[in-house]
Amino acid sequence: MASWKHQVKNRFSEQATQWAACYADPEPTLSSQHLISRQRFALKMVEAAMPPSSRILEVGCGAGVMAAKLIKRGYAVWGIDLAEPMIRHARQLCESDPFGVGDIEHIPFPDNTFDVVVSLGVIEYLESDEQALREVWRVLRPGGRAVIAIPNGRSPLRRLDGVVPRVVAVLRPAYHLVKYRFRARPAPSSERFAGTVHHAPYRRFYRRRWLRLLRGLNFEPEEWICHGWGWLSSPLGFLVQSLSMKQAVFRRGIERLVGRALLSRASDTFVRSSALNWLAAEHIFRVRAIK
């Protein structure tokens, strides 16, 4: 297994319990809101294309939250994830055994097994896309669908998420020199900054380029949306989180005025707006396997 895959595996293994809890948080953080929003749109895409009882594989199933929602809607669901602790959470939450450790680049199922493959927040951790997409195509039945989420390379916040940590890394030695050495105080251990997992390598995804790749691998795009504002893993994260909390209060006020159903329809319109969705953090595609 490549070293960057080990990093991803270790990160999500260590954070499995927190990851599972974030979906149940009554006051979700910005990152939790993003995950919940992504699941909501992905579920709509699946339901619009495939009836209950369809066979679904979730690749990168995490703690099983998405799988549990699919099972509740009557789908037959299997799940794989690199992190074994995530699989334990998924089995416990779904009260089901068809979950196991697995890799999207080597999916452990025969050809033409599933009606749908769902993969959210996985592709961006790979060095390249083709092997993973070929595997997804292989395990899909003819006419089967894949629902795949990738970062939006044009998103301003996504760009800052890559730029700000680099700027901080350059400025940190000078900051420490002023704050600690000139005052004869011990600097904090560099271990506190260790353990961050970046995409390997850090890549940006663009809609047109991605669509060309999908068509070249015998996928026919059916639906595309762009959602969420993302979150910053940089030192600016506290600012984004503060703005998010204000936005959540504003949203609740709008819900009381116009109702949740109308606000949800407005949200669905926004994510399909070609004039605005370039601002959002993530693309979600539904594609059909041509065989």
- Taking Cα atoms as reference points, which of 176, 173, 164 lies closest to residue 237? 164
Identify the residue whose tokens are 């109308």: 262
Q: Cα–Cα distance between 210 and 221 in angstroms, integer?
A: 10
The larger pLDDT score, comparing residue 269 to residue 154, is at 154
In-domain check, residue 110: yes
With a CB cutoff of 8 Å and minimum separation 6, the contacts of 166 are: none
Q: What is the pLDDT of residues 227-274, one digit of tens each?
A: 876 554 545 555 555 555 555 555 555 556 656 665 456 566 666 666
In-domain check, residue 143: yes
Q: Cα–Cα distance between 13 and 209 in angstroms, integer?
A: 32
User: What's the whole-number average pLDDT of the chain?
Assistant: 79
> Do residues 67 and 256 make contact, with C-beta atoms less than 8 angstroms apart?
no
| Phi, then psi, of 110 in degrees rounded to 5 | -70, 170
Q: What is the pLDDT of residues 116-141, one digit of tens each?
A: 999 998 998 888 899 999 999 999 99
User: Could you give the angle at the alpha carbon of 58 between the alpha carbons of 211 and 42, nearest 5°?
Assistant: 55
Instruction: CATH number of the domain at 53, please.
Output: 3.40.50.150
In-domain check, residue 93: yes
In-domain check, residue 166: no
Q: What is the pLDDT of residues 175-224, one digit of tens each?
A: 555 555 555 566 554 434 333 444 444 577 888 899 999 999 999 999 99
Burial of 9 (0-12, 13-18, 19+ CB in 10 A): buried
Residue 187, CA distances (Å) to 80, 81, 180, 181 in order = 42, 38, 6, 8
In-domain check, residue 182: no
Identify the residue whose tokens are 């995950």: 35
- Answer whether the bond into residue 201 is a cis peptide, omega within 30°: yes
According to the model, what pLDDT value does residue 74 have?
97
Indicate the number of domains in the chain.
Answer: 1
In-domain check, residue 116: yes
Containing domain of residue 62, as a range? 3-160+193-289
